Chain A
Amino acid sequence: MIELQKVSKHYNNTNAVDNISFEVKEGETVVLLGTSGCGKTTTLRMINRLTESTSGEIIVNGQNIKLQPAEKMRRGIGYVLQHHGLFPHYTVAENIAIVPELLKWNKNNINNRIKELLEKLKLPESIANAYPTQLSGGQQQRVGLARALAAFPPVLLMDEPLGALDPVTRADIRKEFSTLDELKRKTILMVTHDVQEAFELGDRICLMDKGKIVQIGNAKELLFNPANNFVSSFIKEQRFQLELKSILIKDVWSLLPKAFDGTDETVFSPENSLWNILETISAEQQNSTRFVSVSHNDKKQIDFASLMTAFSKYKNSLKHE
């Protein structure tokens, strides 16, 4: 876990980061979101001391980062960069092996770990001896992640990990990352300026502006309970989509109509977001198919009309709370 207490970074007369405090709990993913220059990257870099904080305390895994040698501390934190930062003169395998080598693992363990990571990240084993420039952008970014994960760091820092990729590759890798078992158990702090990415990958989102935290909370809190106008205007563009993505069937369960018994049903889990279901329905051409969701012997009718009605009722109910 990561904890920041009243941390500031001053450059000459400007406050790049101004007295911020927050915590990333064990196994949680927090996303630092904001425009360029808001201090999010500086905040991230202060945690592995690539930038030294001016004041305040940073605790990683229960230890103050300044009370141990920087190099030793960094070896316990995975670090993923926007421009992957792979060593061009090392092969893929050698790149992945960097931290294990620094930690003096034995050869066998290192080789097994490389194999395991290539498999998990869906990289062909044949690229182990290729050089980074021979890979596609998506592959490079996956190798970058594999390298960060190699020595099983409990904490992972990611600086715009998908920032250099095209939108299609980006969406693909994002999906993969969100299903990767190794990432699920990690304490992750990630920086991005992409609102979609933040809402999709973050358990909580920390919105920053001018070196300060504007709001920190989960997707619903930011959407339906914004701290101020800055928060709502920051997510205004993608608001509808984000709302549909953040509301699950189970959230609007009571607002959906009961389903009739019948045949030829497609069943959704109530854990699906409204967005996921709308996507599937709109892709489905045959009108004969009926969609239902089932939970504890309860069966609900799902179609465009019922979902949108439930969605607007749900939003209204939040306003009146």
Chain B
Amino acid sequence: MLEQSGKLLEQTFAHIGLTFISLFLSILIGIPAGIWISKQKKWSGTVLGIAGILQTIPSIALLGFMIPLFGIGAKPAIVALMLYAFLPIIRNTYTGITGVNAAVTDAAKGMGMTSSQILFKVELPLAMPVILAGIRTATVINVGVATLAAYIAAGGLGEFIFGGIALNNTNMILAGAIPAALLAIIFDFFLAKAQHINIKKKKKALIIIPLMLISLSSFYLLPSAISSKMLAGFTPEFMGRSDGYLGLKNKYGLKMRTVVISDAVMYKAAYEKQLDVISGYSTDGRLKAYNLVVLTDDKTIFPPYYAAPVIRQEVLQKYPEVESTLNLLAGRINDSIMTELNYKVDYLKLSPEKVARDFLTEQKLYKEPRNGKKGVIRIGSKIFGEQYILLQMYAMLLKGNTDLSVETKTGLGGTKICFDALTNKQIDMYPEYTGTGLLVLLQPDNSIVRSIIGNKEKVFQFVQKQFAEKYSIKWLKPIGFNNAYALMMRKKQASDLKIKTISQLKMYIDNN
């Protein structure tokens, strides 16, 4: 708890830093740009148009665009946030200056003020409430969007929010969301005060506000003091799990510099040498696409996630031929084969159907559909490539080897939805993983988990028994591969450093 509150403070400072560094840069560029287009009106449409388009790009996409240009971490996040803040700042500066009464600027000019005197003594002071309103809008936008910075390893309160979502931990979500909301409210409040400040004191405010911005920005620079040679990027979920980073720390004593990053960009960042170690899934197609290698979990902290079909016993009693048909696939697919198949779907963009059929044909398991009318088996899947491939294989096997027809339901978001559909008899079967069955669906006492987690046979037997007793659902034989958490490195770097296991990684880090 104490550790978490320390982390909360640190991430709050990071969040403030991200918000204000980007805001400061945006003001530094946006206000002169706004002044410029108020003088060169023919450019106003173009500049405001571009700023407007930037604003309409979805935040995640904008962050994604930044990675090839600036890598991961604070830099791309700050640039993206800066671009977001442009529109309100440029537009309000422009509106503020063009809104100054023409008689006033005319008088200023007529009395012999130079154009810079007019700008600084007349136009900017009179436009200041409007400009400050723009900065206020930009601040609130930035506090909100900065939560997304956690996707690209820039830290901030988003780490709690996305970690909480991934772990289905409401308290953790609130630990990120409440401070973020408070920050937005507090900054808005103070800027509103600044906006209505007495005209007389405005000159002081002009100095105070930038100083405040700079000092708030400097918060961000503090946490980056720790440094080691290797950098790890972990998903928010992995960071928070006892069978994830917490386990690495406890069992292996691994202490390394980590950043939180989204699964979507993690593999690529490792490939581009932005990260050295990442947390991935052992059968992910990107493992092959980006030339990464899995480090052996020599102390077995990652629970086994062997895939096997789960099916309602009722269905098996009605159509006994189903069990033997589905078991045709048992033991046929190991980790590297599954990685290869996933690579074809996720990276080469082949259809799951074609990949499934090619594999079955190669294994001499494929048979033409019999178009039987005996009954219908409804197969579900979660929404990712590996599940689609397995679903297609089972469908083909059933159609070719039995007189049953098949209905597929591929849109079942996650574990919980698939499992509920199964227990509510809306589907008959879907492929599940032993680790998920144990830790997500059954959630037994910690003592039980600890006693069996290291042994894949014991885990399988446990879930098989429990599912049969509790839900009348049968786990058929495992397909063979283990889609578990894994630490990965670039192949080249791993072989150069002679790192094959997590223990060797720890040794290397401790010695360097």
Are A and B genuine complex partners? yes
Residues of A within 8 A of B (CB): 48, 50, 70-76, 79, 81-89, 98-99, 102, 131, 147, 157
Closest CB in chain A relative to B483 CB, distance in Å: 67
B58 adjacent to chain A (CB < 8 Å): no
Q: Report how far A52 CA is from B125 CA in the complex, Å.
A: 28
Which of A48, A86, A87 has the most B CB atoms < 10 Å from its CB?
Answer: A87
Evaluate whether A89 and B125 lie within 8 angstroms (CB atoms) in the complex, with A81-B103, A83-B103, A84-B103 already known: yes
Q: Decide if B109 touches A89 in the complex (CB within 8 Å).
A: no
Q: Is the interface of B mostly helix, strand, loop or mixed?
A: helix
User: Which chain B residues lie closer than 8 Å to A102 at the CB level?
Assistant: 111-113, 117
Q: Decide if A72 touches B106 in the complex (CB within 8 Å).
A: no
Closest CB in chain A relative to B202 CB, distance in Å: 8
Q: Decide if A74 touches B103 in the complex (CB within 8 Å).
A: no
25 CB < 8 A contacts A-B: A50-B110, A74-B109, A74-B111, A74-B112, A75-B112, A79-B110, A81-B103, A81-B107, A81-B110, A83-B101, A84-B103, A85-B101, A85-B106, A85-B107, A85-B110, A86-B107, A87-B108, A88-B101, A88-B104, A89-B125, A89-B199, A89-B202, A98-B111, A98-B113, A99-B112
Q: Given contact pairs A50-B106, A131-B199, enumerate 5 new A-B contacts (beta carbons under 8 Å).
A: A79-B111, A85-B107, A87-B107, A102-B111, A102-B117
> Which residue on B lies nearest to A48, using beta carbons?
B110
Closest CB in chain A relative to B14 CB, distance in Å: 39
Evaluate whether A89 and B126 lie within 8 angstroms (CB atoms) in the complex, with A81-B106, A81-B107, A83-B103 already known: yes
User: Which chain A residues lie closer than 8 Å to B227 at the CB level?
Assistant: none
Closest CB in chain A relative to B102 CB, distance in Å: 9
User: Which chain A residues lie closer than 8 Å to B451 at the CB level?
Assistant: none
User: Which chain A residues lie closer than 8 Å to B101 at the CB level?
Assistant: 83, 85, 88
Closest CB in chain A relative to B342 CB, distance in Å: 66
Q: Report how far A265 CA is from B424 CA in the complex, Å.
A: 119
B114 adjacent to chain A (CB < 8 Å): yes
Closest CB in chain B relative to A65 CB, distance in Å: 12
Q: Decide if A71 touches B106 in the complex (CB within 8 Å).
A: no
User: Which chain A residues lie closer than 8 Å to B202 at the CB level?
Assistant: 89
Partner of A50, one of B109, B113, B114, B122: B109
User: Which chain B residues lie closer than 8 Å to A131 at the CB level?
Assistant: 199
Q: What number of A-B contacts does a CB cutoff of 8 Å give?
A: 62
Evaluate whether A87 and B122 lie within 8 angstroms (CB atoms) in the complex, with A79-B107, A81-B106 already known: yes
Closest CB in chain B relative to A318 CB, distance in Å: 41
Closest CB in chain B relative to A114 CB, distance in Å: 15
Closest CB in chain B relative to A101 CB, distance in Å: 10
User: Which chain A residues lie closer than 8 Å to B122 at the CB level?
Assistant: 87
User: Which chain B residues lie closer than 8 Å to A76 at the CB level?
Assistant: 112
> Which residue on B lies nearest to A157, using beta carbons?
B110
User: Which chain A residues lie closer than 8 Å to B114 at the CB level?
Assistant: 71
Q: Decide if A71 touches B103 in the complex (CB within 8 Å).
A: no
> Which residue on A lies nearest to B114, using beta carbons?
A71
Closest CB in chain A relative to B178 CB, distance in Å: 40
User: Which chain A residues lie closer than 8 Å to B112 at the CB level?
Assistant: 70-76, 99, 102
User: Which chain B residues lie closer than 8 Å to A147 at the CB level?
Assistant: 111
Q: Report how far A83 CA is from B113 CA in the complex, Å.
A: 19
User: Which chain B residues lie closer than 8 Å to A157 at the CB level?
Assistant: 110
User: Which chain B residues lie closer than 8 Å to A48 at the CB level?
Assistant: 110
User: Which chain A residues lie closer than 8 Å to B108 at the CB level?
Assistant: 85, 87, 98
State the 5 A-B residue pairs at the shortest beta-carbon distance, nearest first.
Answer: A85-B107, A75-B112, A74-B112, A79-B110, A85-B103
Closest CB in chain B relative to A132 CB, distance in Å: 10
> Which residue on A lies nearest to B107, using beta carbons?
A85
Residues 37-57 of B contacting A (Cβ, < 8 Å): none
Q: Report how far A79 CA is from B104 CA in the complex, Å.
A: 12
Closest CB in chain A relative to B200 CB, distance in Å: 9
> Which residue on A lies nearest to B199, using beta carbons?
A89
User: Which chain B residues lie closer than 8 Å to A75 at the CB level?
Assistant: 111-112
Q: Report how far A48 CA is from B111 CA in the complex, Å.
A: 9
> Which residue on A lies nearest to B104, using beta carbons?
A85
User: Which chain B residues lie closer than 8 Å to A86 at the CB level?
Assistant: 104, 107
Q: Report how far A290 CA is from B103 CA in the complex, Å.
A: 52
User: Which chain B residues lie closer than 8 Å to A71 at the CB level?
Assistant: 112-114
Closest CB in chain B relative to A131 CB, distance in Å: 8
> Which residue on B lies nearest to A85, using beta carbons?
B107
> Which residue on B lies nearest to A148, using beta carbons?
B111
Closest CB in chain B relative to A145 CB, distance in Å: 12
Q: Decide if B107 touches A99 in the complex (CB within 8 Å).
A: no
> Which residue on A lies nearest to B128, using beta carbons?
A89
> Which residue on B lies nearest to A75, using beta carbons?
B112
> Which residue on B lies nearest to A102, using beta carbons?
B112
Closest CB in chain B relative to A238 CB, distance in Å: 29
Chain B 113-129: CB-based contact to A (< 8 A → 1; otherwise 0): 11001000010011000
User: Which chain A residues lie closer than 8 Å to B126 at the CB level?
Assistant: 87-89
Residues 329-370 of B contacting A (Cβ, < 8 Å): none
Q: Report how far A147 CA is from B109 CA in the complex, Å.
A: 14
Q: Report how far A88 CA is from B113 CA in the complex, Å.
A: 16
> Which residue on B lies nearest to A70, using beta carbons?
B112
Closest CB in chain B relative to A175 CB, distance in Å: 25
Q: Report how far A72 CA is from B113 CA in the complex, Å.
A: 9
Closest CB in chain B relative to A113 CB, distance in Å: 15
Chain B 76-114: CB-based contact to A (< 8 A → 1; otherwise 0): 000000000000000000000000010110111111111
Q: Decide if A87 touches B104 in the complex (CB within 8 Å).
A: yes
Q: Report how far A250 CA is from B135 CA in the complex, Å.
A: 70
> Which residue on B lies nearest to A76, using beta carbons?
B112
User: Which chain A residues lie closer than 8 Å to B107 at the CB level?
Assistant: 79, 81, 84-87
User: Which chain A residues lie closer than 8 Å to B113 at the CB level?
Assistant: 71, 98, 102
> Which residue on B lies nearest to A79, using beta carbons?
B110
Residues 251-287 of B contacting A (Cβ, < 8 Å): none
Q: Report how far A48 CA is from B108 CA in the complex, Å.
A: 12
Q: Report how far A116 CA is from B142 CA in the complex, Å.
A: 53
Closest CB in chain A relative to B145 CB, distance in Å: 34
Closest CB in chain B relative to A91 CB, distance in Å: 9
Q: Report how far A75 CA is from B108 CA in the complex, Å.
A: 10
User: Which chain B residues lie closer than 8 Å to A50 at the CB level?
Assistant: 106, 109-110
